[in-house]
Structure 1
Amino acid sequence: MNFGNPRSPRGRALRHVATLSSGPAVDPALRVTLNFHPDRLVRGLPILEALAEDGTYHSQFVTGTSNGGLTAHPGGDRWRWESRIFAGAYDAADAHERPVYGALNFRHQVVGAAPRFGSAHFRLTGEALRRATFCYPDSSVDPTAFGVADGMSLIRLAEEDDRDALDDYIEAQVHGLVVLDRDAEALVLDPCYCGTPVEAAAKLLPCPVEWHPGYRLSVEELRRHPDFRGPEYVELGARISEDGRLDPRVIGDAARTGRHDPQDLKKVWHCLARFGAPAV
């Protein structure tokens, strides 16, 4: 484990979770991935341009944005979850010191370990495993099972569980700054962004750009699943579709118009991620 300064918030958080963890060491060939939407805005700037300028992948506490719930503030749900999991290590810490969230790609998914949170992902280096903590299930549901690189029983739990495909991930919290030129092996994008400003911005980053096979969902197939997130999100997906289909770019374009509730578009993305994932 890479605890860093044992008296720092990072060191105290890692040591606390290590005391709660057991099991075999993580296969060092596994990777943590950080899923996100590559065409969204961060404080008015396209996210990949912001990452190219800053060079660091920040937590919701810094960016004020999220592909999940927006609760990263003192007293908010995310603050309380971190306080519980890390025994208060970050309660008084600066926002930049807090961990970033990803997932352990133990299933070797080409779209990243937690596509629920976006079509793109950064694949981190093996070193990131040494300063990550893990929980199963997601930290939002008060998990009681934890892991670190030296003690990981969570893979067995996840493999024996029967959660929906979008919830079937081992959450990772990477402690310490995630600096892209040091910590990112690659940025992996959906091919719908090929030849777009997203690709152009991605090429400004200090890591290789790779492509996965891509998400695609026809409106016809979307209409077969009204009970997944609700019929209203099926209808929204049908309205924003192009030529009778959805892909991540289509949803991103709709998000930037400002005409749709981001939480509603998140549900449309869930439908695409669940039923339009590449068959590999």
Structure 2
Amino acid sequence: MSHATDRATEAFVAHRNLLFTVAYEMLGSAADAEDVLQETWLRWIKVDAEHVRDQRAYLIRITTRQALNRLRAVQRRKEAYVGPWLPEPLLTAPDVVEDVALAESVSMALMIVLETLSPTERVVFVLREAFGVSYDEIAAAVDKSPAAVHQIAHRARRHVDARRPRRAVSPSETRAALGAFQRAVEGRDLQGLLDVLAPDVVLVGDGGGVKQAALRPILGAENVARMFLGGLGKVRGTFTGEPTVVNGNPALLVRLDGEVDGVMAIRVEDAGITGLYYVRNPEKLARVGSETPLTLR
């Protein structure tokens, strides 16, 4: 029994970062992903691992089922959330930026698009598009036929493609836009902000009812620019922005008088910022102090 437990533990630990990434992409919450991993472990140790042909696939299947159950519960929780809900930002290693597939799959911009899918669509999309899981394996995880999963995947992909950037943006382009934005805000430069913001830019703030944030997205370059410059004039203290890597993409760790106030992530298209995502809810900032290892393999 001890030997079997040791083997099960070794397999779980070997795939833990993968399973966390799977659960996080499905849920958008590190705390919920950790709970899913705990539930996965409790089920895994009851399995006779010696007779499991593909332990990675089996563990992903358990994780998927637990994540799907939790995703439905999380959706009900979001309905009572104060203001817009944004994914929990994760501090990631700088080299994640160079892993194009991983950086894109965990980017704040894509995670926000995934919020518009149904729970089953999101799970199917993540497994198929990010992790390359076969339709048969996905079908077993979500209790659907392979044909049904194929249709769900097609529908979800079409939905996401209609809302994701038309062209992949390099990390250097994102850093350049982020730097121009930071300089304009710190210099109270209205024209500088208007130059870097796309005309149809959207600002989404997540304070969770704990920190002040707009209760609805703010639309349009002029409205966003004036909100930033007007808001800064009312703040007692000094804001500073520290370039960092969040969810595999360049971002800003924002501090107020030296204390972490939030994380600013952006979406860039055609050298202009089309999306600004500012997470201020303290409950979502637990993972910006140390790197979270993520992997698609």
TM over 0.5: no
Q: Say which structure is richer in helix.
A: 2
Structure with higher Rg: it is 2
Q: TM-score, normalised on structure 2?
A: 0.28
